[in-house]
Amino acid sequence: MPVSSPISAPVPSPSARPDPARLLSWYDRHARVLPWRVAPSARRAGVMPDPYRVWLSEIMLQQTTVSAVKPYFDGFLARWPTVMDLAAADEAEVMKAWAGLGYYSRARNLKACAEVVAREHGGRFPATEAALLTLPGIGPYTAAAIAAIAFDVRAVVVDGNVERVITRLNAIATPMPAAKPMIRAAAEALTPKTRPGDFAQAMMDLGATICTPRKPACVLCPFDRACAAQAAGTMETYPVKAPKTERPTRHGTAYVVQRPDGAVLLRRRPPKGLLGGMSEVPSSDWSTRASRTKTEAPATKTDGRPAFAGPWRRLAAPVEHTFTHFHLVLAVEVCRVEARSSAPADHWWSPPSAWDGEALPSLMRKVLELAGRG
């Protein structure tokens, strides 16, 4: 039965129960063509997906759109076509290839996971959720997705698209994330024993193409007669979201040192933590507002400014960037130095022609773009 609705009026009962067979029939006709996916017709003919491709795509797709992932997926496969190749890759090269995709702990875990699969599993991904959960960077959702899609194990796969479908089918009024156990229970009850991998992908496709956040195409939905939200006309109410908490704002300063040939001074961030292992221009701490320094002032040991005498010039506008848990306002100071200037220890000079190959996160690319204009 549908869970109580946030709408004051009673929720009308749908005229039918959701039928997984109807969804699978719809998927057979309308499955998205994706580079990591085996088409349902080929799958029914016995072609199974490559677990490496499934794993790689699922890690990349976390909090990232399909359109953004496709070129990165193709690039990784071109350089590292198997998990053994990725396991043997240089970590710095993996971070460079990941640059721009965001959430960089995923890239570090990707490399660590590949190494474990190569070293402890002979280059073959385990086929059970329990075994997959022991691998670096693989949580409950990813383990279920790999087990279902790559090995056709009956596993409950619930991503954001599936959450939306399930909350609408059942008119689940509890706000997120408290609703997650109810969503999982409803998804568990709906997941069939036959073709569980195709079913998982069909639910994702349904949410991505039909049961969209706004203006869902209910007339095309294979679950239309079974959907409590559609019966009540309250589709866009679900999933119910908890009130947003305001992100705190942090402040800091980025120090761009430029040579006459345009090369800038870079360093690598610590391997763990936010943007771990990525390249950056030297920066101050981000937890508190960096004090405004005098343009001719020498560097100190606490503000992060590299030891070049200057003159330093602070640009009029800062760079702003929003992370998951905070908003960052980063002042930018620029110093131009002589061509023969030496890079400090653990730093290097990077010319503009090399920036595409550097492991520069989006934030640092914003900094360099602003410094280039300023």
CA distance 79 to 95: 13
CA distance 95 to 109: 11
- Cβ contact 150:135 at 8 Å: no
CA angle 238, 243, 246 (to 5 degrees): 135
Q: Which residues contact 360 (CB under 8 A, 6 or more apart)?
A: 99, 266, 278, 279, 280, 368
Residue with tokens 């890759």: 89
Locate all alpha helices (DSSP H) within the chain, ordered by sequence. Answer: 20-30, 40-44, 51-61, 66-79, 83-88, 91-98, 105-120, 129-132, 140-151, 160-170, 180-190, 196-209, 228-232, 362-373
Handedness of CA 316, 322, 323, 328 (dihedral sign): positive
The catalytic residue among 58, 115, 129, 163 is: 58
Query: Active site includes 58?
Result: yes
CA dihedral 161, 165, 170, 171 (to 10 degrees): 80
- Cβ contact 361:275 at 8 Å: yes
Q: How many CB atoms lie within 10 A of CB 344?
A: 14
Residues belonging to the active site: 58
